[in-house]
Structure 1
Amino acid sequence: MSRKAYPSDLTDTEWQEIKPLLPAENAIGRPRQVDLREILNGIFYVLSEGCRWRALPHDLPPWQTAYNYFRHWQRLGIWQQIHTQLRQRVRKSVNKAELPTAGMIDSQSIKTTGKKGEVYGFDGGKLVKGRKRFILVDTLGLLLAVVVTEANFPERLGGVVVTMEAAPLSNNLILIWVDAGFSGENFARVIQQVCSAQVEVVCRSQREFQVLPKRWIVERTFAWWNQYRRLSKDYELLPEVSESMIYTVMIRLMLKRLAQSHTTTS
């Protein structure tokens, strides 16, 4: 790489982690003429800086090329496949089983940059116009599944949907922690039917700020996303693109963690 590196660029160690997971070059057709490492650097630049695709610096690949790769891999489910393999590696690096047995569900209401078609609403509880992100994470805060809905989507229904989205991972879950917004016997019964996991509600004992047992883990995951300006709002027209943006951010975070673990052990 002859240009000056950006803070969002992949290091050599991070590139070696993700390189084997990328789609192989098609044996039919023209040879691949782009540098996939630079394509990823362009995508990670957009995520980190929160800029428009058209605002990619000129020393990175053309924005059309970076965007087309992102959307093509999104349609094929490549981002989610890479994410799954990296999550397994991160769990193994800290002596955890590849499949988690406990997790946490939470939601985050997020503003959009305008009305986004049908997937748009108003969260009356948090007074947010836009969308809602439902996530299921493991005890490390790593993402198991994400579902983006309109902001007025019911909490309990969203919790069920994201648990179903995590299948077959969720089938291995024994316990799921939630906050009071997901409480209720009906919700617990449906979750048990979906994945056989028990639901444990973690409630506040005081009105002031309080660090809740286990619940802080999923809140930390939301905090990680604050490092990536593209997730400060939902800028995407399609919710499935928003979900892929989140998976890609988690890929970037896990690559950093794996690289740090290599540095520690070497």
Structure 2
Amino acid sequence: MTLPIYQVDAFTAQLFKGNPAAVVPLESWLSKEEMLHIAAENNLAETAFFVKSSVDYELKWFTPLVEIDLCGHATVATAKVLYDHLGYSESEIRFQTNSGLLTVRKDGKKYTLNFPANVPYAESTPEGLLEYLGVGKALEVLKGRTNDYLVVLKSEAEVAALTPDFRALKSVNARGIIVTAKGDEADFVSRFFGPAVGVDEDPVTGSAHTVLVPYWAEKLGKSELFARQISKRGGELWVKLLGNRVEMSGEAVMYLKGEIFLP
């Protein structure tokens, strides 16, 4: 049995930048165990699998360790595969997911996601969190309903300089840790750490921006913002708050196309 596989660098216009994701189109669903094996073998932050339904597409995402409920960059990667390689030509793609209906439209070179907003709320700081991050003091520590903590620092330089203790950070009961600050050139910057789900640092994290956009839209008093995720690979997002939804736009670059051989 063979399956097609694509690899796409998302939220970037440059190859070897942004966030790489694998995309596996399916005629029908594999078992969860098989999809986890493929994701672990790919050893990327996310592998997306999709199946055409009668009207929409069903979409699932896996890290090397677990299935997750929301992923932005692998959704961008999936949209690029559909539009540029599988002949999709409608103005919008509808994905049915564990997080409900998600849509993507192509705007020139950019792919625009429409995701539910995830307004962060005040939460006590887990024991050891700041220490494991290597942070002396945070301006705020909040939490999103995706079980991500949002740690706000004073400057972009502080965010860029972080060298977390990933083994210790893995013990924090959270999907991931978003660290952010007002940007020097961008409206805001961020990094995302998810050792508990098998991703020490995610290069560019669309789902984190469902938390970041409502936070910074309120802080900066505007609904349209430009964001940078300042990981080693780096990525750029043009984002917009639309009531209880968040739009995120970014480019994507195809890296490879191949085949998976299954027994």
Greater relative contact order structure (CA < 8 Å, 6+ sep): 2
Higher helix share: 1
TM-score of the two chains, using structure 1 as the length reference: 0.26
TM-score of the two chains, using structure 2 as the length reference: 0.27
Higher strand share: 2
